[in-house]
Amino acid sequence: MILLLVAVVFVWPGDFSLGEELISPGAKDIAVSQEDKVYPTSDRLRFDGGAEVVYVYLRVEDFATYEDLEARVERTSRVSALGRLLGAGGGELVVSKEGEERLSVAYGGASGVVKFAVRPGSGGRLPSGNYTVAVYAASAGTGENSVVARKYFVVGARHG
């Protein structure tokens, strides 16, 4: 019984790598920053903590499915089983589209930048952990959304 308890005390995702995936051919770059600008001057993969918001920037060129873009966030963290029971795992995260889309639309599709913000749902600071932000676009005729790009970054302590 004690051995089983020790085995589940720490839950930590093992397959997390910092970086990005550009899945759609129209997706040219995805960057994260604490800078609230048209496009960040640098792309960061680590935030030391204390961040109240992290902005995610998706740059597209000749992107056909530019309407109804949305982003979703997932966070994993190292929290003991007892900590999870006591609510120490962090709270809900909210992703919202920020500002006006800076897209120019031409015959071949849209080009420009779409910005999203990741914030804690209850205010305050983002909890430590490994973050994955995925940007989705509506797939024509299927009623489902398809992944355009993903960004993997860390807030707080190292990712393991």
pLDDT, one tens digit per residue, over 60-91 is 998 887 677 899 999 987 654 444 444 455 57
* Sign, CA torsion 57/20/147/122: negative
Q: Residue 148, Cα to own-chain centre: how many angstroms?
A: 12
Region 25-29 average pLDDT: 93
pLDDT given for residue 58 in this prediction = 95
Q: Report which of residues 87 and 138 the model is more confident about.
A: 138
Task: Specify the range with the lowest mean pLDDT, choosing from 35-49, 73-87, 136-150.
Answer: 73-87
Nearest CA among 153, 156, 152 for reference residue 127? 156
Whether 155 and 132 have beta carbons less than 8 Å apart is answered as no
pLDDT given for residue 32 in this prediction = 96
Is residue 78 helix, strand or coil?
coil
- Token duo for residue 31: 């960057």
> Which architecture characterizes domain 20-155 according to CATH?
Sandwich (2.60)
Write down the domain spans for the chain: 20-155
Task: Please determine, for residue 25, whether its predicted confidence score (pLDDT) is greater than 80.
Answer: yes
Cα dihedral 61/35/137/151 (nearest 10): 100
pTM for the model: 0.80
Whether 95 and 72 have beta carbons less than 8 Å apart is answered as yes
Nearest CA among 135, 121, 155, 160 for reference residue 16? 160
